[in-house]
């Protein structure tokens, strides 16, 4: 029996993933997209992905593939998606004007209880919800790609988001098996991308300054830092790498400060150093092999997710 209705606005990569996550937990899911072809290809794509997950033993929840598929439907009418939904997950492209427009549309139809969540990777909800009547129901729920294997979701309320909306979002995330973290205030890029981009920018400096090749740089992560980060975060790493955090800071704090002082200016995404990175990446993984490499990635992440679940 269905637990209630979830509306998904935008049926690309992220909209499809959310549909599967909610259906696996027993919710009735209605997918809407401005492009009718996208809706039918989303339904087809979800069917295939669920079959693959079943094969690899990673289907979430207690329902069979057929039971989950029965819970998911598509529509070309915005209203059919929104009406009666207890929670809406907006998944349209990362474009400010578009997000504003879609939330205005939602504002017209939503009742006073629907949670209006956005999947945006970077835009605080306050930037696109200020003038809405239902602005206290708007919140960001930013997933990690691919959401089925990387369960982290950043929940980011605007200053005017009602506490009940934040609580409801945190609890529905937990219910569908996501790991939700709450940002206590809005910040551009949220936490995950701020951390990711600080890593990417230093990696780009090291390669453009000819300190290391792209291939070896990636190994620093996959064979070094990444090995620990799947289990312990940077803070716990410090705590364990000495006799606790206070001792770590006595031993290494000054050195870390000195090293990071040499990072240099924030590098733009252009110029000869940048072109070199593009060229090395294209040689290492030619563009016509990206799809194959993504399948390989998903299989590895599947194995890791299984390992973590069994531990």
Q: Does 119 bind ligand NAD (CB under 6 A)?
A: yes
Shortest Cβ 260–ligand NAD spacing (Å) = 28
| Stretch near ligand NAD under the rule CB under 6 A, chosen from 89-97, 133-141, 152-160, 171-179 | 89-97
Tell me the window of 28-36, 107-115, 159-167, 257-265 that interacts with ligand NAD (CB under 6 A): 28-36
* DSSP assigned state of 189: T
Can you spell out the DSSP letters for 191-252?
HHHHHHHHHHHHHHHHHHTTSS-HHHHHHIIIIIIHHHHTTS-HHHHHHHTTTSHHHHHHHH
Binding segment toward ligand NAD, per CB under 6 A, in 113-121, 173-181, 195-203, 295-303: 113-121
Integer-rounded Cα radius of gyration of the chain: 21
Cβ burial 49-78 (10 Å sphere, 16+ → b, else e): bbebbeeeebbbeebebeebbebbebbeeb
Count, residues near ligand NAD per rule CB under 6 A: 23
Range in contact with ligand NAD (rule: CB under 6 A) among 21-29, 53-61, 141-149, 230-238: 141-149
75 counts as binding ligand NAD under rule CB under 6 A: no
Q: CB within 8 A of 86, min separation 6: which ones?
A: 4, 5, 6, 113, 114, 115
* Residue 38 interacting with ligand NAD (CB under 6 A): yes
Q: What are phi and psi of 114, to 5 degrees?
A: -65, 135
Q: Does 14 bind ligand NAD (CB under 6 A)?
A: yes
Taking CB under 6 A as the rule, does residue 89 contact ligand NAD?
no
Does 124 sit near ligand NAD (CB under 6 A)?
no
Per the listing, tokens 């059919």 go with 80
Only one of the segments 4-12, 159-167, 237-245, 254-262 lies at the binding site for ligand NAD (rule: CB under 6 A); that segment is 4-12
- Which parts of 142-161 interact with ligand NAD (CB under 6 A)? 142-143, 145
Select the residue interacting with ligand NAD from 6, 7, 8, 15 (CB under 6 A): 15
Q: Which of 40, 73, 121, 213 is close enough to bind ligand NAD by CB under 6 A?
A: 121
Phi, psi (deg, nearest 5) at residue 154 = -90, 125
Contact between 45 and ligand NAD per CB under 6 A: no
* Nearer to ligand NAD among residue 144 and residue 208 (C-beta): 144
Binding range to ligand NAD, per CB under 6 A, among 45-53, 87-95, 154-162, 216-224: 87-95
**Residue nearest ligand NAD (C-beta atom):** 12
By beta-carbon proximity to ligand NAD, the closer residue of 22 and 248 is: 22
CB of 6 to ligand NAD, least distance (A): 15
Query: For residue 162, with 0-12 CB atoms within 10 Å meaning exposed, 13-18 middle and 19 or more buried, which class applies?
Result: middle
**81-101 in b/e burial notation, b at 16+ Cβ within 10 A?**
bbeebbbbbbbbeeeeeebbe
Query: Per rule CB under 6 A, is residue 93 in the interface with ligand NAD?
Result: yes
String of DSSP letters for 266-309:
---S-SHHHHHHHHHHHHHS-GGGHHHHHHHHHHHHHHHHHHHH
Residues that bind ligand NAD (CB under 6 A): 9-15, 33-35, 38, 91-94, 98, 102, 119-121, 142-143, 145
């Amino acid at each position: 029996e269905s637990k209630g209705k979830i509306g998904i606005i935008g049926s690309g990569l992220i909209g499809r993933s959310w549909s599967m996550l909610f259906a696996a937990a027993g919710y009735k899911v209605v997918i809407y997209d401005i492009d009718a072809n996208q809706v039918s290809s989303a339904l087809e794509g979800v069917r295939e992905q669920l079959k693959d997950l079943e094969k690899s033993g990673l289907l979430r929840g207690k329902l069979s593939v057929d039971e989950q598929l029965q819970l998911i439907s598509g529509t070309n009418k915005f209203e059919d998606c929104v009406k009666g939904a207890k929670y809406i997950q907006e998944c349209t492209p990362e474009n400010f004007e578009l997000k504003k427009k879609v939330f205005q549309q939602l504002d017209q139809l939503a009742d006073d209880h629907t949670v209006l969540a956005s999947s945006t990777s970077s835009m605080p909800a306050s930037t696109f919800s200020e003038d809405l009547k239902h602005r206290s129901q708007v919140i960001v729920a930013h997933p990690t790609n691919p959401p089925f294997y990387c369960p982290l979701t950043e929940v980011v309320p605007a200053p005017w988001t009602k506490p009940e909306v934040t609580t409801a979002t945190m609890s529905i995330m937990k219910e569908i098996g996501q790991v939700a973290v709450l940002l206590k205030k809005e910040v551009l890029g949220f936490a995950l991308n701020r951390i990711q981009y600080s890593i990417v920018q230093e990696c780009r400096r090291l390669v453009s300054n000819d300190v290391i090749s792209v291939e070896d740089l990636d190994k620093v992560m996959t064979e070094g830092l990444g090995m620990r980060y799947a289990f312990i975060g940077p803070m716990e790493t410090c705590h364990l790498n000495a006799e606790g955090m206070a001792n770590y800071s006595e031993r290494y704090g000054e050195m870390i400060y000195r090293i990071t002082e040499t990072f240099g200016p924030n590098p733009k995404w252009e110029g000869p150093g940048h072109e070199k990175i593009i060229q090395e990446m294209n040689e290492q993984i030619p563009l016509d092999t990206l799809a194959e490499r993504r399948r390989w990635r998903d299989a590895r992440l599947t194995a890791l997710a299984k390992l973590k679940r069994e531990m």
